[in-house]
Structure formats: structure tokens, C-alpha cells
Amino acid sequence: MRLQALRIMAVVLAMGWVLTALAAGPALAAGPERPPDGTRPRGHRPGPPRPEPENPQPQKPEPGPPAPVIDPSLLEDQPKLPEEPKRQTCLSIKDQAFLINDKPTYPGRVFRPAKGEETKGEERKEYKVEGLLFCARMANGIFDDLNPETRSRWAYADGPWDPERNTRDFTGAMPAWRYHGLSAFTLNLQGGSPAGSSPVQPWDNSAYTRDGRLRADYMKRLEAVLDKADELGLVVILGLFDGGQDQRVWDERSVLQAVDSVTDWLLERKYTHVLVEVADACDSRRYDHKILTDARVHELVERVEKRSEGKVASPAGRLLAGASMDGGSLPPPELLKAADVALLQGTGVDEPDRIRRMVQHTRGRMGSRLKPILFTADDHTGFDQPDNNMIAAVTEYAGWGFFDWRREGESFRQGFQSLPVDWGINSLRKYGFFRLLATMMHREPPPMSHYIREELKDRPRAERGPRG
């Protein structure tokens, strides 16, 4: 009986423990409660880690607050990233020919001298024009004078000198040049003498500071010119230095800085229609820095080419570069080898046959690697004559550039370099050049009186051309 009573008591105690565990529920299953400081209670022994379920179900995140609605008008005044410039004109070279957008310039064009205008007694021939460049020297398109003592010399008849007005007039005249067949023009970051042949140039016209950095106002005007030329399909022969102004930078190190700065500036804007002319008339005695002379200028030509290698979206993959010679001179071997183009000048060359010989001798020096030849500046006219320097260049398959400056006593309308400049086709010399150029393009230009009225008043009717 006593043993049976003990068994009954054991069963009752066991049932009590079970009921207590069921009442505790999840609290016991979770283990002992942690103190507020995160430590485990004394005497607690952790058991083995629980196995992770094979296919855990992702927990759904609790919904957060709704996204704020931004008023689009608040973004209107925020600065926008600059768009990638889309260039329209790409200059390239194939053998002796210039190409624009992968097509030769003046496709299919040939020059046939008018009846009775045979050259030097030869039979009437056809001369290839396709692949040539015809340009005009417009060196002072972004000119300014930082010398207060000479600035007033360039005043307009109706107001003071204004560099912004000069550039606006320049870009405004460009469509007319293009219409008459011009495919290029030369522009210089140090301009060209605005007062004719000037051994001393006290004016200060340079796009560079003394240490070779770029002046923002000059480059803003240059950008306006280059953008307009790109829009019209015009090539720009961009001169970096002029012999009358190169002393505006201190030393050779400053020259190198200027060359690099311009190169990088052109690359940043992704221009593809620019031919860099490192120095104008590099063999003239006007240069102060030896690296700009014909003995060493090829170093700068190579510098531009190497610095831009692989950075231009053109067949060459880099900027095209060269340097021009003074009137009547031929490029030395080092320059001819480094340059992409042989740049000559016809100033001082009075005989068309000498122009022909210059082309022949330059081409002879090239050997098997032929390059284009271009006269960047020639102030000879005679455009209505059977033979002239322009025709002579074409007969030897060389491009030609018109250099027009205002002679003493001439009116504002004359010249494309003397300041202030009338950039329109408003004089007999200008009209003569553009008329011959239009003829070579197989295009009939408007009559002379369409452009020139004041100059024709004192001329006999027979010399005025057809009525307009």
C-alpha cells in the first residue's frame, strides 16, 4: 500500500510539471530571457545552432511612406550638362586632294579658260579643280587692340572700334563667300597687319597672355567663327602666330604653352574642319622666337600632330597642320616632311609662270609622298586677264588664296585685312576674285552692279558690266 501511494504521488508531480510547461508556452521554447544589457543570464548554456530551412520564404517589407512628388518647374533653372557638339564639316586629305565629308571639294569641276583666253599660246584645255581649296586671307576676323594708344586708329566712321561688331560682320558675310565658291579662309590668333606692310607694329593683338595662356574674349569670338564655318561647310586655316606679334609672348616656353593650349581647346570642342597653320610666313625676318622660323617650325607642326593623335573624329584621327612660307619661298625638307600640306604664298611674285615653277619645284621635293599644295595669300589681281596667279596655280593643280589689303587713299569698302574691314563683296577687286571663282565653279555670279554701286558711278558704262 505504501509503495502504491508513492507511485501515485510521482504521477501527480509529473502531471504538474507538464501543465506548468504548457502554461509557459513560447517563453520556455525561446530560452531564458536576456537582461536589458544584452548579456546572457548566469548559468545559461547555449545549445547547438538551429538548422536553416531549405527554402526560406522572403519576408515582405513593410510599406514605407509614399515617394515625394517633385514639381518639374523647380528643375527649370538648374544647370544642364553641355551637349556633345555635332560637327557638320570634316576636312581630310587623300594624296594631293582635299576632301570635305569624305568627298573631294568641287566634285566634277574643271576650269575651261574662256574662248580667246588661252594661256601662253597653248590650245584650250581643261584644268582639274576637283580636290582643290580656294581661300581668302581674313586674318583679322577676331582682331582686337589691347594698346590704348593705338586702339583709336581702327575706329568705325560711325563709332569707336568694337571687336564684337567686327566678328559679327565677319560671320554675317560668310554665306556670300560660300555661295560664290569659297571653300576656306585663313584666320590668325595674332591677326595680320591692319595697316598694310608695317615693319613696326605697336598695336597689341594676340589671343595669348604673355605666358601663353588663352584670352577668353578672343576664344569666344573664335568659337563663333568656327561654329559658323562648320555650319556652312567652310574649312578654316587657323594661324597661331604672326611675325609682327609673336613678341607678345615672353619666350619659347610660352610659345609651347600657347600651341598646346590651342590644340587642347580645339580638341575639347571636337572641331574637324580646321587646318592649323602654326606660323604665317615662317621664313620672314619678323619673328623673334627661333622656334617659329623655318629652321625649327616643323617641331611645332609635329607637336600639334602628336598631341592630337587619336583624338579627332576624322580619317587622319588628329589635327591637320603645317606652316606657310613667305612670298616666293619654298618649304625646307623638314617642314615639307612634317606638314600635311605645303603652304606657299604668292606675294611679291609678279609673273604667273613663276607661280607655276614654285608648284613644280615644291612637288618635286616631295618625292613619292605627294601632298596638296595651297597658296594661302597672294595680293595679285588681274582676274579679267587671260593669265594671272590664280589661273597659274590651278593649271598646276594647286589651290589659291586671295589677299586683299587697302591701299593708301582707298575707301572703307576695299580690302579684307585693313581695319576696320568691310567683309562684304563691295569693291571691284573683291568682285573680280569672286567672279572668277564662281566661273571656275560653273556658276554665273550676280552682275557687278548688284554689289558695287558707288565705285561704278565714275566709270564708263562699258566698264560697269551688265545691268543689275
Q: What is the pLDDT of residues 408-431, one digit of tens each?
A: 888 899 999 999 999 999 999 999
Instruction: Tell whether the model's pLDDT for residue 120 goes beyond 80.
Output: no
Q: Report which secondary-structure segment, H or E, holds 363.
A: helix 352-366
Q: Is the confidence at residue 445, as pLDDT, over 90? A: no
Half-sphere exposure (Cβ direction) of 391: Cα atoms closer than 13 Å: 25
Dihedral sign computed on CA atoms, order 138, 141, 146, 151: positive
The answer to whether residue 71 is domain-embedded is no
What does the alpha-carbon distance between residue 423 and residue 292 come to, in Å, rounded to a whole number?
Answer: 29
Report H helices in 132-251. Answer: 163-179, 216-232
Q: What crossing angle do the helices spanning 163-179 and 216-232 adopt, rounded to 10°?
A: 20
Is the residue at 18 inside a domain? no
Count of domains forming the chain: 1
Domain assignment present for 25: no
Cell reading at 97: 586632294
CA distance 210 to 314: 33
At residue 124, the pLDDT reads: 73
pLDDT of residue 60: 57
Q: Could you give the CA distance from residue 424 to residue 175 in angstroms, rounded to a whole number?
A: 10
- Domain CATH for 172: 3.20.20.80
Residue 467 confidence class, pLDDT cut points 50, 70, 90: very low
- Residue 59 CB: number of other CB atoms within 10 A? 6
Give domain status of residue 83, yes or no. Answer: no
What is the rounded average pLDDT of the residues 373-396?
Answer: 97
Distance in angstroms (rounded) separating the CA atoms of residues 414 and 423? 9
Structure confidence at residue 48 (pLDDT): 53
The reported pTM is 0.79
Sign of CA dihedral 303, 308, 309, 313: negative
Q: Is the pLDDT of residue 244 over 50?
A: yes
Residue linked to cell 613696326: 200
Dihedrals phi, psi of 215, to nearest 5 degrees: -85, 130
Span 140-156, average pLDDT: 98
Strands (E), 83-171: 91-94, 97-100, 103-104, 110-111, 127-128, 134-137
Lookup result for grid cell 580690302: 415
Burial class of residue 53, CB neighbours in 10 A (0-12, 13-18, 19+): exposed
The Cβ of residue 164 has, within 10 Å, a number of other Cβ atoms equal to 13
Asked if residue 16 belongs to a domain, the reply is no
Q: Cell for 432? A: 573680280
Structural domain of 135? 91-463
Q: Is the pLDDT of residue 293 over 70?
A: yes
pLDDT at residue 113, as a whole number: 82
| CB-count exposure of residue 222 (10 Å: 0-12, 13-18, 19+) | buried
| pLDDT over threshold 60, residue 96 | yes
In single-letter form, the type of residue at position 168 comes to: R
Asked if residues 403 and 368 have their Cβ atoms less than 8 Å apart, the reply is no
The answer, yes or no, to whether residue 466 has pLDDT greater than 70, is: no
Query: Does 415 fall in a domain?
Result: yes
Please, which pLDDT band fits residue 307 given cuts at 50, 70 and 90? very high
Residue 139, number of CB atoms within 10 A of its CB: 27
Reported as a single tens digit per residue, the pLDDT across 121-136 is 556 789 999 999 999 9
Q: Are 439 and 452 in contact (CB under 8 A)?
A: no
On average, the pLDDT of the chain sits at 85
Compute the distance between CA of residue 164 and CA of residue 167 in angstroms, rounded to an integer.
5
Amino acid residing at 34:
R
Q: Is residue 7, in this structure, part of any structural domain at all?
A: no
Q: Is beta strand 110-111 parallel, antiparallel or unpaired with respect to 127-128?
A: antiparallel
The string of pLDDT tens digits covering residues 36-95 is: 444 444 444 555 555 555 555 555 556 555 544 444 444 344 445 456 778 999 999 999
Q: How far apart are CA 402 and CA 109, in angstroms?
A: 20
- Amino acid 191: pLDDT: 97
The amino acid that residue 83 corresponds to is E
- Grid-cell match 579627332, residue found: 312
Cβ-based neighbour number of residue 131 at 10 Å: 21
Cβ count within 10 A of residue 259: 25
Return the axis-axis angle of helices 297-307 and 252-268, rounded to nearest 10°. 30
Chain position carrying cell 538551429: 50
56 three-state secondary structure: coil
Q: What is the predicted pLDDT for the residue at 196?
A: 75
* pLDDT at 18 > cutoff 60: no
Q: How many helices (H) and strands (E) does the chain have?
A: 11, 13
* pLDDT beyond 70 at 240: yes
How much is the pLDDT for 447? 77
* Residue 74 covered by a domain: no
Distance (Å, whole) CA 306 – CA 455: 50
